[in-house]
Chain A
């Protein structure tokens, strides 16, 4: 009846038990509050079933932030174990649990934090920046989001029911095969990523088509805001590489569930094939994350320098060449697998070539500041922090691109420091900069500067303290994923410094939480107009409270930095003529489909075959039904638009 699911699946360790109870209690409190304040209908109508990309974007960011807290606590446990309990055989974190913790940390940070923040930004910014009212496929967008949520829930369920993967964030076989990991952990990993990965793929396709087909009249490709270019390149990578992830995971699932032998050590399976496949997705994935961060900085630097972006064309070519090159470098993740010298050298060289367009971008950002008026508001501080740290990451990246150097660094903590250098210094700093920059557009008030700066300094110093020592430890021979090490090696001091660094980062996160709370509390004092930073792109032309249709009229644009041009043109604006606007109606199909997918994933993990069959049928039925909706749009009549516009624009002009 319940497959492998027995009472034994409940948590054994006090830490996981505590976390599971914490999550459960938190969930019950939320449900109770919603019921007490009778907010269920409101939640369902205004948020859960909404097809408005602005609302979907906000939900992405909220989920990503919650997951950041979860994965940070994993990080803190890793650091605590290595700094304090390394020599203690009675550590509260057993080796088995340690494996699950670092696997969860990596998986959640990449798939549910970085990807979530990124898709949140896509949803919030792209339609506005291209002057559109919506994305190309609004319902698909909602389905993508809810599949992401289903994957997220599944990965967190593993805390309370069963276990998580012990095989690292990419689950290399044969360790991830049944022979060496017979538990449910790897299955949780597979199905959580399988479900959210399909969501990511659909989302990537959606934004690709949105950008290609829904730009405002006159916005040629080379007139698009640079952030849109970054999303375009990132979406291309998603569309072409996520299928590889889906297939690799499926094959691994077939091995584990149906006893096949794609990647097993014996019976003709080939684990090296998996390593190739997963990195053929995995390396572009890194650029899927970093390109939008580059895009955000390319918006922020001109605005805060009050100067147009230097070398727009170069920037576009740099993005495009990084996108193309990122498909050609995956083998640098396993130079040590014994490929011939020709192969290794080829992939080493393609890897270091990426440093060229990336370097060009840094120079162009700097020369955007050159002869500008630079305001060092928080987003700009994140930019400075990004250049300083990312450059270090670039150097250590080029080092590892040389195969013989990689032979001495691979899988050591040097590597760990390098990719955190790129993902914290690049992706996260970019996300924080973009968050601070775009926050007032959606909230109507800006975030408190002082607390933002405090958070920035904590993150920067914490980052240097946490990862500087790891570089040195790597050179001393410390390898990744150790739950303990021989005390005679003399590593503990550096691990303690790294632990202090994580504590400082946590303080930064604390400041960020306080910053948001305090800013909401003081929102009257921090209130700003619709264009608080003297913006250049279309999103800043919307009224203070963005109407659900984004733009009442779709006037043609003629230049890059369209809003900047509008503000500086001397033409009198003609009285706008409003027309009826058609917007997609709400739909619950995102929730239904994702719920079926979640149940299916859970049933397969626990081998509850009848439930798997039922949920699969339901999943297919719901998907078909979602395509058969009638009356998908509602019409906002012209006079209602005029009324709304008068109210929104009249209030503050």
Chain B
């Protein structure tokens, strides 16, 4: 009996248990202090839908044997370029969003190919290379945002008329267009149906993908490169395929994120975006070498809920704000924990 409990605990993972317990305590305090519980739950769901695709973007990279894709900003900036181009053209509504997504994906594919090529040349250090490439690309794009010939006066700095602003409001263009689509409220809890459908749909498509010929070979090459070679699979190719998929999902992820957030954030905003996403998938139970759609969903739910609930709850109990501190401890602690387990997998 005790043995079975122990195995169950090991399978669920101690860190996940602690985080779930922490979340439970936060909710308990929220109830005890008579906070607006339905509002909190609404916020949680909104943030899950907002961040989910960025977390999902990490899955193909893990399945492809590239570890945690700290180079997620490569995909993110592609999505941002898509947004800015569609905004500059003044296309709004669904058409604008689709245009942004189309351009984002069109850019993410070649970017993913190049990123994958780079990772094949730096085998064994994918995570470090990804981190540095992410930093480099965000800085490089900062120059691009300043110099690119965008003319639309709503986008560029009011004084001087050159260079994009750091934050572009989407109000009246496609602000929350997915979140509001078919949105409904039950018992005070609002569901951002469109964004949830986008997240769920992409999860389903990714799940399907890993059941196709290409998906199976990607996972097989990750699982055993020598086996793959013997089966006539080039693992350099499958690694590039995985990188392209991850980068493309990153581009789509930031577009869904931006419409839900209501702003397109440029310059250094994408710099650290990979880290919370990585923490999410790890809290969900993924390891550096193996993950599933379930890990993506559970992890996003746990981590984003904590972020949402911790701020209002802790400010009720303690003077001052510790939610940012808690976020950093959980986020980076989780990444560290996953890396310590790397050798055992």
A binds B: no
